[in-house]
Chain A
Amino acid sequence: MDRNMFTGGFPGTISRRGFLRACAIATAAMGLPMEMVSKVAEAAEDPKRPRVVWLHFQECTGCSESLLRASHPDLAALILDLIDLQYHETLMAGAGPQAEEAFEKAIEEPNYILVVEGSIPTGDYEDFCMIGGHSAMHNLKRAAKNALAIINIGTCSAYGGIPAARPNPTKAVGTGDIIKDKPIVNVPGCPPNPYNFLSTVLYFLTFKKLPPTDIYGRPLFGYGRRIHDQCERRPHFDEGRYVEQFGDEGHRLGYCLYKMGCKAPETFSNCSIIRFNDVEVWPVSVGNGCYGCTEPNFWDTMTPFHERLPGISLPVNGGIIANATDIGKKALGITAAALAIHAGIGVAKSLAKGKKEEE
């Protein structure tokens, strides 16, 4: 993948009113300084809402569905106040000829944001996804031509996703493999957290440029850190306390899910920080490991889902507890020593088990 395609600037400027409150929340989500709010206010003075064309290809509509779950801004605010959503097959009122006409009209006038959901079948399989008698490839190329920028929502449009999983029956790819001359930002996840998508849109509208990204085209504000490094169960990992089976004592005490196949040590995302559905949850918080859905090709590289990642070093020499108790010993004497023994046994046990499993 060409790194440069993710870092292009923007030829035009767009802005619209009514997103100040949403932007203030997004500011926090993106970890940006609060000076951004003044930029938002500035942008808010232009009453024209930016045009968005949203295409569905080889997908399950889960990414669109995820937006139904968002509350800041909610879907009504998004489509009534924030953007001018000109084409979206799951939501638009008209169908058939009226929908086809809306598509033609939308892509005629340049400088809209193109959102792509779903992968694109290629080669001999190009006709395996047809809309109004045209292939996904045909519609993508036409819609990309006049687009200001492309936002890929979900792992399918970003990297091919599940249709591209082994054996990739339709030679499915993401948009970046087809469109090379437009700025593209990827918001992966299966589906992505809607706030990562909304924040990307708001970032673009406010700063008139796409957010900086990593080598996979993901905005740094959402995907700049490893989940493992910002997980609430990380202390249990460091201390050698693991769930060995769903429903066991460790599971009921909220221990680390690494041995249950958690892929957080190799996954970059902010799931544990912004969480999902506004109810303070993410998969790890309820007791299931991370499956790495924000990583390219995760369907092949992260499976089997319940098997441990290879090559992850478990804490040695008793981990943090041992270090902490080394210090503690001086202050607490014998109590700390007892703690150290306890922790040491836990880790030794884990290491022995881990070794056995690997053999």
Chain B
Amino acid sequence: MAKRVVVDPITRIEGHLRIEVEVENGRIKDAVSSAQMWRGLENIIIGRKADDAWMFAQRTCGVCTTVHAIASVRSVENALKLEIPYNAQMVRNLIIASHALQDHIVHFYHLSALDWVDIVSALKADPKKAAAIADSYQNWKLNGDSVFRAVQEKLKKFVASGQLGIFATGYWGHPAMILPPEVNLIAVTHYLQALDFQRKACQAIAILGGKNPHIQNLAVGGVSTAINPDNVATLNMERLEYIKTLLDDVRDFVQNCYLPDVIAIASFYKDWLAYGKTGEYYLAVPELPQDTKGETFDLPGGTVINNKVTPIKSFYDPYFINNVYENITHAWYDGDWTRHPWEEETVPKYTGLKPDGTVDENGKYSWSKAPRFKVNGEYVPMEVGPLSQVLAGYLQGHKLTRKWADYALNQLSSMAGTKVTIENLKSTPGRHLARAIRAAMMADLAMKQWEQLVDNIGRGDLEIFNPPSYPQGEIRGCGFHEAPRGVLSHWSVVHNGGIMKNYQEVVPSTWNAGPRDSKGQRGPYETALIGNPVVEPEKPLEVLRTVHSFDPCIACAVHMIDPEGKEIVKVKAL
């Protein structure tokens, strides 16, 4: 008999998310994803000055901080057909790359690792053995038995205090946790070290953006980061060298610790390469523009449908701009339509849970709309995120993607003792691996952007801003950005000389976490969970693994019910 399991809140994510799955014979048979919070930011932006929209839009998320700001200014610049100076593009690129590094590091170590790593088991590890294991798969300067011993001592003291805080509720000793104690100790040690390196990535952003989270150096038309190598109050050589030092350190960590750690942990969990696939529809947009118009990019994008790539080529590419839609059949908004973002309206209509305390997947059940991409006249769900971007780059023969993906796949094949291919990335651990591959690329690309910026300043170009000039009539723009969680697009309709008439955000977590659509097609989370094992329904660890692999940006919950809806089992901790 199937049971419906409700998990709410889903923790270690941004925001409020609830997941309900039906479990039968130890496997997930069906899944429902429901976003649980609405603020109405789009409606707050309407009627305000287009110049200010990015400041508001950035508050869509403080985890994906910077990314909404970037997509927002791009949407207004796109409407104005406004180019930005080369320096502004490079400053933004440096922020984009640095933020991606910080975000990927935190996502793996602090928001996901505890799904795979058993802290309690680390107490039993032999630090010397741990050091030998770590050295066998990575060349990382902060390994060593004294390091591992010190962390273990700290952990022992912490546990002895009896005040376990946020670690009190972990799934320690869960039968699905299979890492040896030494690997657990390595991972916990790097959990703590990662805090330092993600901070350095933020510092690079802050030097350019004034602070972080929530940078304050953008403007429609460029950036407000003053550049002058001959002044103490501006971006000068001291500041630029500081950024380089920080990013060098972060690159070292990402390429020599983070990526090898993900490969090593995945090698123990190779069975999971069979779980978590969403299908054959992936979407990524190009990123790190290399010119002032947004026509050439360092990272390629496109759709990947049945392994066939259709590239997205510029900020103005109609293939993207004309084919994004959102459906609200199952979302808590008034009406039942599929519309292009410029034509959307946002009228909340909350209908709550069913009397039995579960969501109604036959009715409206989430604050997330269901984004769909129009392919041959059909509206289809697409998975977005690093996996999509790595697939799009790899299949287009993008050199840097091939370099790091091939390294990771070869290394994993050899450690797991089985051939792992690009196809295996379409899975729960594959998503983590794709994210680490993307981080390794971003670390190289961050340095490239830095060199280009410094070279350009060296040529005497200090331009950072082209002032916008708003026409009286109505203009429409789309700003897209390949954010750490995937394709982000902001859609602006501007009128009356610079006033926002409509504003819509189609965000990565909406693509992935969205509900069913008018045709009953599930969103990617919902699809990816089907077929996953659940060993102990009372401890839904496996549900977290797959949901976390997407790096959700909303709060979530999981619970279990009977497929006929007869029996609801409220899962309680043991």
- Determine how close the nearest CB of chain B comes to the CB of A153; give it in whole angstroms: 11
Q: CA–CA, A95 to B191, complex, Å?
A: 19
**Which among A129, A162, A279, A304 is the interface contact of B16 at CB below 8 angstroms?**
A129
Residues of A within 8 A of B228 (CB): 252-253
B136 at the interface (CB under 8 A from A): no
Chain A window 186-207, contacts with chain B (Cβ cutoff 8 Å), 1 for yes, 0 for no: 0000110100000000000000
Chain A's closest residue to B167 (CB) is A93
Q: Closest B-chain residue to A81, C-beta based?
A: B158
Assembled-state Cα–Cα distance A48/B162 (Å)? 10
Please report which residues of chain A, range 116-136, place their CB below 8 angstroms from some CB of chain B when the two chains form the complex.
127-133
Chain B nearest Cβ from A345, distance in angstroms = 22
User: Which of B16, B85, B169, B214 touches A93 (beta carbons < 8 Å)?
Assistant: B169
Minimum CB distance partner of A71 in chain B: B199
- Which of the 9-residue segments A72-80, A143-151, A217-225, A330-338 touches chain B? A72-80
Interface residues of B in 82-123 (CB under 8 A from A): 85, 106, 110-111, 114, 119
Residues of A within 8 A of B (CB): 47-49, 51, 56-66, 68-69, 71, 74-76, 79-80, 83-102, 127-133, 162-163, 165-167, 169-170, 172, 190-191, 193, 232-233, 245-247, 251-254, 260, 276-279, 281-288, 291, 299, 303-306
Task: Please state if B166 and A60 are interface contacts (CB–CB under 8 Å).
Answer: no
Chain B: CB-nearest residue to A59: B62
- Which of B11, B163, B195 touches A89 (beta carbons < 8 Å)? B11
CB of B149 closer than 8 Å to a CB of A = no
Name B38's closest neighbour in chain A (CB-CB). Answer: A128
Docked-complex contact B210 and A284, CB < 8 angstroms: yes
Interface flags, B343-371, vs A, CB<8A=1, else 0: 00000101011000100000000000000
Distance, CA A171 to CA B107, complexed state (A): 32
If A75-B195, A169-B39, A190-B59 touch, whether A48 touches B16 (CB-CB below 8 Å) is no
> B residues within 8 Å of A by Cβ?
6-16, 18, 36-41, 43-44, 48-49, 51-52, 55-56, 59-63, 65, 85, 106, 110-111, 114, 119, 154, 158, 161, 163, 165-171, 192, 195-196, 198-199, 202-203, 205-214, 216-217, 219, 221-228, 231-235, 242, 348, 350, 352-353, 357, 462-465, 467, 538-540, 544, 555-559, 570-573
Q: List 26 A-B contacts (CB under 8 A).
A: A60-B63, A62-B63, A68-B198, A75-B195, A89-B12, A90-B111, A92-B166, A92-B169, A93-B167, A94-B169, A96-B571, A97-B559, A97-B573, A98-B171, A99-B11, A100-B9, A101-B169, A129-B36, A129-B38, A163-B41, A246-B226, A252-B228, A277-B203, A288-B225, A304-B48, A306-B52
Docked Cα-Cα span, A260 to B357, in Å, equals 52
With contact pairs A95-B558, A253-B231 given, residues A49 and B60 touching in the complex (Cβ less than 8 Å)? no
B224 adjacent to A287 (CB under 8 Å): yes
Residues of A within 8 Å of B206, CB to CB, are: 276-277, 279, 281
A260–B573 CA distance with the chains assembled, in angstroms = 55
Tell me if A69 and B202 are in contact (CB < 8 A): yes
Instruction: Say whether B9 contacts A61, CB under 8 Å.
Output: no
B202 adjacent to A277 (CB under 8 Å) = yes
A74–B195 contact, CB under 8 A? yes
- List, in ascending order, chain B residues with CB within 8 A of A165's CB: 44, 56
A127–B352 contact, CB under 8 A?
yes
In the complex, the answer to whether B224 meets A286 with C-beta atoms within 8 Å is yes
Identify the closest chain B residue to A193 (Cβ): B211
**Which residues from chain A contact B167 at a C-beta distance below 8 Å?**
92-93
Residue in B11, B44, B111, B114 with the greatest tally of chain A CB atoms within 10 Å = B11
Interchain CA distance A51-B7 in the complex, whole Å: 25
Closest to A117 in B: B62
Q: Determine whether the beta carbon of B166 is less than 8 Å from that of A88.
A: yes
Interface contact A247-B462, CB-CB below 8 Å: yes
CA distance A162 to B465 in the complex (A): 27
Complex contact A131–B16 (CB within 8 A): yes
Q: Which residues of A contact B85 (CB under 8 A)?
A: 247
